[in-house]
Amino acid sequence: MRAILDVVLLVLDLYTWVIIASAVLSWLVAFNVVNIRNDVVRAIWNMINQLTEPLLQPIRRRLPDMGGLDISPIVLLLAVFLLQRVIAYYIYPNVF
């Protein structure tokens, strides 16, 4: 059981980096630092969006409109951190 929890914690760590990469890439695209018409950039953009958008869209629907500011990645990161803490402090120590 500990091995499964270790894998879950590792996946959550990796997903944290994917969320951060998504936010940074969206800034780079918005400020025209990288061109989305480039095949490599488009492939990375599509992959990151496919990984993050299924969880970001429900958060965006529930958050109030804040103009051009999107804080849904921050909310998702807080949820991931909370899940990691719950696993690490409550579930992981009780596994035999």
15-51 residue pLDDT tens? 999 999 999 999 999 999 999 999 999 999 999 999 9
Chain centroid to CA 87: how far?
A: 18
CA–CA distance, 1 with 68 (Å, rounded to integer): 44
Q: Average pLDDT, whole number, for the chain? A: 94
Task: Identify the DSSP state of 89.
Answer: I
Round to whole Å and give the CA distance between 64 and 50: 23
Amino acid at 32: N
- Number of domains comprising the chain: 1
Alpha carbons 38 and 94: distance in angstroms, whole number: 49
| Percentage of the chain modeled with pLDDT above 90 | 86
**Residue-range definition of the domain harbouring residue 21:** 2-94
Distance CA 49, CA 24 (A): 12
Q: What is the pLDDT of residue 92?
A: 84
R_g of the chain, CA atoms, integer Å: 16
Query: How much is the average pLDDT of 60-78?
Result: 94
Q: Alpha carbon 54 to chain centroid distance?
A: 10
